[in-house]
Structure 1
Amino acid sequence: MTCKNCDTKLLDTQKYCFECGAKVIKNRLTLKSIFQDINSQFFNYDNKLFQTFKLLFTKPEEVIISFINGTRKKYINVIQYFAISLTLVGFQIFLMNTFFKDAYNIDMPFGNTLENFPNQDKNPFSPQNFSYEEVNNYQSLIYILSVPFSAIATWLTYFIIGNRRFNFTEHIIINLYYSAQIVIVTAIITILFLCFGINFMLITGLITIVNFIYFYYVLKRVFNTSYLETLGSFFIILVFISAVFLTISLLLGLIIGILIA
């Protein structure tokens, strides 16, 4: 008998592959076995998904540092967890585009000021060309692109202050787990609050506050620093992230200005 996952030779009495850890399946596939597998993977109290989600709230350092140090079976792989979060975002976008379209009917932050400038018909950020619905459709891409920016910011911050415990790749892992957790929470909160008819801008503001608080909490637990040290690092990271986004925005504005001219 061989393992169906890695082709390792196994004894007939083995229930799990000693090479890859996969369960040995001997019986034919049935609906009962499928539902049992789904239950064990997603709804069982002791399953890896639930444990990962729970511990990223209570002890984020245990999940993140364990993965960095080589633990692979105890918690959900960081890429898989991030993929799950993006799937949930896709579900949120589908619900908003199908059942909660009125949530997009909100005023622009600066009103109609941009309409007074020339050539606004060619400006993608002008009120007539910009819509929250279009931006929302690209949420998954925005989340993906935000990870390397935040990883650069955390790595630079802790490199400058002398806390060089983690290399850049490990900072990507930290930010992937953090981002996946906050994306999952964001999607769940957004869906639930929209069902109760709560204003979308209020939801966004609440999520932003939760985002900052949780980011601070993760930094505090993972880097094991004092409250003041973590607060200082937190603000430096925000400065780096803001600088990166401001630079990109200015470059985009310059490119758009050249194209419009």
Structure 2
Amino acid sequence: MNCKNCNTNLAVEQNYCFECGAKIIRNRLTLSNIFSEVKEHLFQYDNKLFQTFILLFKKPEAVINSYIDGTRKKYINVIQYFAISLTLIGIQVFLLNTFFEDVLFKDISFLNKFDNGVTNSSDFLKDQATIQQKVSNYQNIIYIITVPISAFATWAAHYLTNYRQFNFTEHIVINLYYSSQAIIVTALLNIIFLCVGANYYVISSLISFLTIVYYIYIFKRVIGAGFWQTLANMLVMFFIYAIISLILLSPIIINGIKEGIDAANKVKGA
């Protein structure tokens, strides 16, 4: 008998391939065993997905440092985890555009409490909601692009502060695990709060703040520095990240400023 995945010769009584680790499937494909496999891989507490998710909160260094040191079977692969997180973001965007199409326009009106000027304009609200909706449609691409940028920023910040135990590629792994965890939690919470009718912008702002706190927590545990040193490292990282982002986004920012000035002139002219 040969393994159906890697074609290694196996003994008849073997249940797993000693070469690739794949489970030997002997039963014919049915709906019953398909659902059993889904349950085994997704819904059991002790599977790798839930173990990875829980430990990235409790002991993120156990997952991230183990992966960097060569552990590949105990926790879910970092690329697979990132792909799962992007899938959840896709579901969030689909729900937002399909069932909550008016939520952005409705929720942004809370800004009227803080600004009695321009934000009272329904045209302004519609424009802001449209911009937010367009940004959400490209969130997957945005996350993919920002990971190497944030990885470079964290690598450079820790290099400058003499915490050089991880190279650039290893910083990509750290940022991928962080981004995946933050995206999964953000997407799940946004979906839940959208369903219960909570204000999208208020909840998103709160979640964004918590993800920054979690970012500091991740690096404190993984790098092993003290709180104040970790905070200093993160401040340097945010500065580097901001500089890179401004350089890359400067054409878009300049164009946006021009459009904003033109829109303001039209309002005054009206």
- TM-score (normalised: structure 1): 0.89
1:112 to partner: Cα distance: 5.0
1:203 to partner: Cα distance: 1.2
1:252 to partner: Cα distance: 3.5
1:249 to partner: Cα distance: 2.4
Q: Does 1:240 align with 2:231?
A: no
Amino acid at match of 2:68: I
Residue aligning to 1:132: 132
Cα distance change, pair 131–53 in 1 and its aligned pair in 2 (3 A): same
Residue aligning to 2:265: none
Amino acid at match of 1:75: Y
> After superposition, what is the alpha-carbon deviation per residue over 1:121-145, rounded to whole angstroms, capped at 9, x for unaligned?
xxxxx94895211111101111111
1:103 to partner: Cα distance: 2.0
Sequence identity, in percent?
A: 51
Q: Does 1:34 align with 2:28?
A: no
Residue aligning to 1:209: 209
Q: Does the Cα contact within 8 Å between 1:108 and 1:127 map onto a contact in 2?
A: no
> After superposition, what is the alpha-carbon deviation per residue over 1:35-82, rounded to whole angstroms, capped at 9, x for unaligned?
111111000010000000000010111111111111111111000000
Q: Does 1:48 align with 2:54?
A: no
Residue aligning to 2:21: 21
1:201 to partner: Cα distance: 1.1
- TM-score (normalised: structure 2): 0.86
Instruction: Trace 1:5-154 onto structure 2 (pairs within 5 A).
Output: 5-105=5-105, 106=108, 127=127, 131-154=131-154
In 2, Cα distance between the equivalents of 1:74 and 1:243?
38
1:32 to partner: Cα distance: 1.5
In 1, Cα distance between the equivalents of 2:130 and 2:32?
49
1:107 to partner: Cα distance: 5.5
Instruction: Report SS of the residue matched to 1:101.
Output: coil
> After superposition, what is the alpha-carbon deviation per residue over 1:150-204, rounded to whole angstroms, capped at 9, x for unaligned?
0010000011111110110000000000000000000011011111111111011
1:108 to partner: Cα distance: 11
Amino acid at match of 1:23: K
The number of aligned residues is 247
What runs of 5+ residues in structure 2 fail to find an aligned partner?
Answer: 259-270
In 2, Cα distance between the equivalents of 1:179 and 1:18?
33
Cα distance change, pair 108–153 in 1 and its aligned pair in 2 (3 A): farther
Q: Does 1:155 align with 2:155?
A: yes
Tell me which moved more, 127-136 or 166-175. 127-136
1:225 to partner: Cα distance: 0.6
In 2, Cα distance between the equivalents of 1:166 and 1:62?
15
In 1, Cα distance between the equivalents of 2:51 and 2:223?
21
What runs of 5+ residues in structure 1 fail to find an aligned partner?
Answer: 116-125
Amino acid at match of 1:156: A
In 2, Cα distance between the equivalents of 1:23 and 1:204?
42
Q: Does the Cα contact within 8 Å between 2:104 and 2:129 map onto a contact in 1?
A: no
Residue aligning to 1:231: 231
In 1, Cα distance between the equivalents of 2:246 and 2:131?
21
